Amino acid sequence: MSKVLPDSVLRPITKEHPYKIVFVCLGNICRSPTAEGVFQHIVKEQGLSAYFEIDSSGTSAYHAGEKADSRSREAALKHGVELLSRSRKFETFDLDYFDLIIPMDSQNKRDIEYQSHKKEHKEKVILMREFDELANGDINVPDPYYGGAQGFENVYQMVKRSSEELLNQLKPFIQ
Ligand code: 4NP
């Protein structure tokens, strides 16, 4: 069963006030750029681009300014999704700016939560795989950086399932 979004992160979504989501991983070159690209792609397919502002970032600045890893771009492109993001570091003010902050793994989540003790911030931070119907207790999108091509395809599939569920939960709030 997927997590149901808490009331605290839900509000009417309009073109004037688009819903803002940032996906977060460590380097912002593999997992979160894939999530950004896939969510954006699904939203576009459904004609809903104007209602969302989608971004990604990393808890580290190791790869700041870089394109997504070529292996992530390849895995996404096989499914018709182009990854165009440039890596940037997650900043504390992102906790105010975004409606929803979606870390890829529990370490990313801790690194974000460490930056604020406010309840309204904590409620916005929800792990990606909470929305993956096939997670079966696995809470992390595993870091594919040091592995082979299968790891990147695996990330793509997890992120796709999770993005579809997340969008389905938000769609009823579009006005
Ligand atoms: P990501 O993968 O967090 O999914 O972007 C990584 C990319 C680079 C490194 C670690 C993870 N790194 O240590 O350079």
- Domain around 54: 16-169
Query: Is 6 inside a domain boundary?
Result: no
Number of domain units in the chain = 1
Q: What is the mean pLDDT of residues 93-104?
A: 98
- DSSP string computed for 108-152: HHHHHHTT---HHHHTTB--GGGG-TT-TT-------TTS-HHHH
Q: Which residue from 111, 114, 104 is spatially nearest to 162, judged by alpha carbons?
A: 104
Query: Is 48 inside a domain boundary?
Result: yes
Task: Tell me the best of 25, 85, 88 to mutate to test the pocket of ligand 1, counting ligand atoms within 8 Å of each CB and taking the most.
Answer: 25
Supply the pLDDT for residue 1.
78
Domain holding 67: CATH number?
Answer: 3.40.50.2300
Atom of ligand 1 nearest to the CA of 62: 14
pLDDT category at 52 given cuts 50, 70, 90 is very high
Look up residue 54 and give its two tokens. Answer: 């989608």
Q: Is the CB of 28 under 6 A from ligand 1?
A: yes
Query: Is 7 inside a domain boundary?
Result: no
Give the residues across from 58 on adjacent strands. 25, 89
Distance of CA 103 from the midpoint of ligand 1 (Å): 13
**How large a percentage of the chain has pLDDT more than 70?**
100
Task: Tell me the best of 22, 23, 24, 26 to mutate to test the pocket of ligand 1, counting ligand atoms within 8 Å of each CB and taking the most.
Answer: 26
Contacts of 114 (CB under 8 A, 6+ apart): none
List the beta strands (DSSP E) in the chain. Answer: 19-25, 52-58, 100-103
Mean residue pLDDT of the chain comes to 97
> Is residue 34 scored above 90 in pLDDT?
yes
Instruction: Indicate yes or no: pTM above 0.95.
Output: yes
Query: Is 130 inside a domain boundary?
Result: yes
Name the closest-CA residue to atom 12, ligand 1.
Answer: 27
pLDDT tens profile 111-166: 999 999 999 999 999 999 999 999 999 999 999 999 999 999 999 999 999 999 99
Query: Is 174 inside a domain boundary?
Result: no
Query: Is 3 inside a domain boundary?
Result: no
